[in-house]
């Protein structure tokens, strides 16, 4: 539908990219702004720009869908379940995989004191993931059209690589500081669960092609890490911030370079000139 509307006015693909960028960035910014009292918004924007933006340009429909689900998180926090579901359904108009984010309904309907402990939720999801993958590959994807039935129903061997665990240091640090972080932000448990789930999905994506679902979850590093920095600043370990900031800047810069210059899927749309690219 968006392609059709833009096509009425122009056939310039760059215009479509600009419009998609405006939509995606706006929703993601509102998602980060929602946590502005708990984080450093400037650091959050840097993380999003360096780690996520360039990759999302290569998966434009998912960019819009993921940004909408990120914006909708406020309705999980505010226990407005119906509004959250409506926004997720809107996101599915751009990418079916947005339905995955309905799992957060658990946190919007269950009272906080009755929710399972964070480690139990993570353990449950990790153990249940093989069963979920089998059900999805055998009973859901085959009924979603030729593209899914031909490309997303074959189960492969489980493989491991160091790239699957690049998020682990942040998760471990968040676990270590969890009690202090929770005093500032009572929703931090949900964010940590989401980020840990991104690791689990990354591991199992070698079995079934579900890796892109990580991009609905991984953005929360833009909230978790800035809150880690704020928590450390308010603790007896505040001197460690001198190490944390350069490390995350280096991580974001290296990640951006890898996506722009080393990621094969990005080559096809590097066809315009700006401060990052020189069109030859």
pLDDT at position 166: 81
pLDDT at position 268: 47
Distances (CA, A) of 100 to 10, 104, 132, 149, 226: 34, 9, 11, 18, 26
CB 207 within 8 A of CB 153: no
278 lies in some domain: no
Total domain count, the chain:
1
Least confident segment among 221-230, 243-252, 255-264: 255-264
Q: How do residues 186-243 score in pLDDT, each as one tens digit?
A: 889 999 999 999 999 988 888 888 888 898 999 999 999 999 998 998 888 888 888 8
Q: In this structure, how many other beta carbons lie within 10 angstroms of the beta carbon of residue 207? A: 18
DSSP 116: P
Q: How far apart are CA 264 and CA 244, in angstroms?
A: 30
pLDDT at position 124: 84
**Would the pLDDT of 4 be above 80?**
no
139 lies in some domain: yes
Could you tell me the two tokens for 37? 């009292």
279 lies in some domain: no
- Which residues have CB under 8 Å from 34's CB, separation 6+? 73, 74, 77
Q: How do residues 110-158 score in pLDDT, each as one tens digit?
A: 666 656 677 788 888 888 888 888 888 888 878 777 777 777 778 888 8
Structural domain that includes position 79: 2-269
What average pLDDT does the chain have? Answer: 84
Could you tell me the two tokens for 35? 């946590």
First to last CA, the chain: 33
CA 249 to mean position of chain CA atoms? 19
257 lies in some domain: yes
61 lies in some domain: yes
Q: In this structure, how many other beta carbons lie within 10 angstroms of the beta carbon of residue 152? A: 16
232 lies in some domain: yes
118 lies in some domain: yes
Token pair 């749309």 is found at 269
- The pLDDT confidence band at residue 9, using thresholds 50, 70 and 90, is confident
Token pair 């108009």 is found at 93
Could you tell me the two tokens for 209? 């092609």
Q: How far apart are CA 225 and CA 227, in angstroms?
A: 5
211 lies in some domain: yes
- Which residues have CB under 8 Å from 141's CB, separation 6+? 148, 149, 152, 153
Q: What angle do CA 131, 133, 139 make, to 5 degrees?
A: 95
Could you tell me the two tokens for 235? 């603790």
């Amino acid at each position: 539908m968006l392609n059709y509307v833009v096509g009425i006015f122009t056939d310039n693909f760059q215009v479509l990219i600009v419009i998609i960028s405006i939509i995606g960035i706006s929703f993601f910014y509102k998602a980060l702004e929602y946590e502005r009292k708990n984080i450093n918004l400037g650091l959050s924007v840097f993380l999003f720009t360096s780690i996520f933006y360039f990759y999302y340009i290569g998966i434009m429909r998912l960019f819009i869908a993921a940004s909408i689900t990120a914006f909708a998180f406020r309705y999980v926090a505010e226990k407005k379940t119906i509004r959250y579901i409506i926004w997720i359904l809107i996101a599915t108009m751009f990418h079916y995989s947005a339905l995955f984010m309905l799992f957060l309904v658990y946190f919007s309907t269950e009272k906080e004191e009755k929710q399972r402990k964070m480690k139990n939720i993570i353990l449950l999801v990790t153990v249940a993931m093989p069963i979920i993958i089998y059900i999805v590959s055998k009973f859901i994807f085959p009924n979603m059209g030729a593209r899914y039935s031909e490309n997303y129903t074959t189960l492969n061997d489980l493989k491991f690589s160091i790239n699957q665990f690049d998020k682990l240091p942040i998760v471990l640090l968040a676990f270590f500081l969890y009690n202090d972080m929770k005093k500032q932000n009572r929703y931090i448990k949900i964010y940590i669960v989401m980020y840990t789930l991104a690791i689990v999905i990354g591991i199992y994506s070698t079995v079934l092609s579900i890796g892109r679902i990580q991009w609905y979850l991984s953005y929360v590093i833009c909230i978790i890490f800035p809150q880690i920095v704020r928590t450390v600043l308010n603790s007896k370990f505040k001197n460690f911030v001198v190490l944390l900031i350069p490390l995350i800047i280096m991580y974001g810069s290296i990640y951006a370079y890898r996506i722009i210059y080393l990621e094969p899927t990005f080559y096809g749309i590097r066809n315009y000139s700006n401060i990052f690219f020189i069109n030859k």
